[in-house]
Amino acid sequence: MEYIDLRSDTVTKPTPEMREAMAEAEVGDDVYGDDPTVNRLQEIAAEMMGKEDALFVPSGTMGNLLALLVHCQRGDEVIVGNQSHIYLNEAGGMAALGGMQACPIQNQPDGTLALEDIRASIRIEDVHHPITRLVCLENTQNICGGVPLTPAYTKEVAELVHQDNLLLHIDGARIFNAAVAQNISVKELVEPVDSVMFCLSKGLVAPIGSLLIGTHKFIARARHLRKMLGGGMRQVGVIAAAGIISLERMVNRLRDDHVRAMKLADGLRQVNGLVVDKDSPHTNMVYLNLANDVKISSKQVSEKMRKIGILVDAENARRFRLVTHYWIDNIAVERTISAFGTVLN
Ligand SMILES: Cc1ncc(COP(=O)(O)O)c(C=O)c1O
């Protein structure tokens, strides 16, 4: 059965154009810096972000971990959102592999970290204290609803952080969604930050890969650490070729995913038994709950949906996150709305 898969934008399979580019990619040994396709991808990425340099990495998790490892020493403290991917969903890598300590502070409903909370969490110099070294923001903020953070907010955080000689990293797994949703360039969003990671393998449709972006010095150190982590790949232009198509062709079309997420949310608001979050969606994620009077759990609903060809992810016993992407067209949106109606009524 051909499923309509709304579990995540990570499920996107490469387009025929990507597969063709992958088959024909010029390659070389990237550990020697010899892969022309990877080099081109890195140049395009750095240029789009308005930064000096970029490094191709196998995953967003590795990109974030490398940023933490370059910016921090063992024993340092990293201020993160308590709903952030780095804190919740990266297998504790910062502690296990970097010896760092997370200082989680509450994510506000709009995905931000309150400036006063950041300020209050920065340690004063004291022999008892760890050294606060880094603040991480997530844009778009996934768990808070796929909410985009604004350039003005990012600038305020950067100013606060830099005043104290700390650094600012952005987990920008979906930063292009944030830029497109606000009709601004991604450069504007990351201008004041020290490093950013973004993913090719989510809404940008590539099968694998993320990029870490920063200064030449930062990237040189990250390259060394990538090798240490076993992430130095060889003829990896076969993957980077799809990433180039992501950056050249897939950014502006993210708008379509946002429009379809809106259609999906509007339709689901008409289905008895579902309560779509008030402001959802902000980008390509629709968050919703089962109404109190629904007797079955979200897991049972998702099992019934699977039987009729639709894959949805239960976030908890009452909650779903549905994600639109390249392979979700208008018909898929309509079928999903009517399937929820069938399963719940
Ligand atoms: C906000 C965020 N950051 C980082 C990642 C990590 O990316 P990867 O799955 O490529 O390791 C994800 C993955 O879903 C994510 O949603």
Which residue from 11, 56, 61 has its CB within 8 A of the most atoms of ligand 1, so it is best to mutate?
61
Ligand 1 centre to CA of 142 (Å) is: 9
pLDDT tens, residue by residue, 250-300: 999 999 999 999 999 999 999 999 999 999 999 999 999 999 999 999 999
Nearest CA to ligand 1 atom 6: 60
pLDDT in tens, 122-144: 999 999 999 999 999 999 999 99
Q: Could you tell me the distance, in angstroms and rounded to a whole number, from the CA of residue 282 to the centre of ligand 1?
A: 18
* Distance (Å) from CA 342 to ligand 1 centroid: 33
Q: Which residues of 263-290 are buried (b: 16+ CB within 10 A; e: fewer)?
A: bbbebbeebebbbbbeebbbbbbbbbbb
Give the Å distance between the CA of 198 and the centre of ligand 1.
9
C-alpha to C-alpha distance for 88 and 332, rounded to whole angstroms: 31
pLDDT tens figures, 39-61: 999 999 999 999 999 999 999 99
Which pLDDT value is given to residue 273?
97
Task: Judge if the beta carbon of residue 141 lies within 6 A of ligand 1.
Answer: no
Q: Decide: 138 in ligand 1 pocket, CB within 6 A.
A: yes
Q: What is the mean pLDDT of the chain?
A: 98
CA distance 2 to 130: 52
Q: At a CB cut-off of 8 Å and minimum separation 6, what does 129 contact?
A: 123
| pLDDT for residue 43 | 98
C-alpha of residue 273 to centroid of ligand 1, in Å: 31
Please report the pLDDT score of residue 21 as a whole number. 98
Q: Beta strand 101-105 with 210-214: parallel, antiparallel or unpaired?
A: unpaired
Q: For ligand 1, atom 7, name the residue with the nearest CA.
A: 60
- Say yes or no to pLDDT of 30 above 80: yes
Query: 197-241 pLDDT, tens per residue?
Result: 999 999 999 999 999 999 999 999 999 999 999 999 999 999 999
Q: Considering only CA atoms, which residue is closest to atom 5 of ligand 1?
A: 60
How far apart are the CA of 62 and the centre of ligand 1, in A? Answer: 9
Indicate if the pLDDT at residue 74 is higher than 80: yes
Q: Which residues contact 22 (CB under 8 A, 6 or more apart)?
A: 14, 238, 239, 241, 242
Is there an atom of ligand 1 within 6 Å of 210 CB?
yes
Ligand 1: which atom is nearest the Cα of residue 8?
Answer: 14
268 phi/psi in degrees, rounded to 5:
-70, -25
Q: Is the CB of 61 under 6 A from ligand 1?
A: yes
CA dist 306 and 311 (Å) reads 5
Q: How far is the CA of 40 from the centre of ligand 1 (A)?
A: 23
- Site to probe by mutation for ligand 1, drawn from 140, 202, 208, 282 as the one with most ligand atoms within 8 Å of Cβ, is 202
Instruction: Answer yes or no: is pLDDT of 87 > 80.
Output: yes
Which residue is it, tokens 């992407």? 325
CA-62 nearest atom, ligand 1 = 11
The pTM (predicted TM-score) of the whole model is: 0.97
State the pLDDT at residue 41: 98
Q: DSSP 3-state helix, strand, coil percentages of the chain (rounded to 5)?
A: 45, 20, 40
Q: What is the pLDDT of residues 91-105, one digit of tens each?
A: 999 999 999 999 999
* Tens of pLDDT, residues 298-310: 999 999 999 999 9
Q: Ligand 1 pocket, 85 CB below 6 A?
A: yes
The whole-number average pLDDT for the span 150-178 is 98
How far, in Å, is the centroid of ligand 1 from the Cα of 186? 18
**Neighbour tally for 104: CB within 10 Å:** 17
pLDDT for 227 equals: 98
Q: Which pLDDT value is given to residue 166?
A: 98
Residue 222: closest CA among 189, 195, 193 = 195
Q: Is 171 in the pocket of ligand 1 (CB under 6 A)?
A: yes
Question: Is 1 a residue whose pLDDT tops 90?
Answer: no
Residue 188 has pLDDT above 90, yes or no: yes
Say what percent of the chain tops pLDDT 90: 99
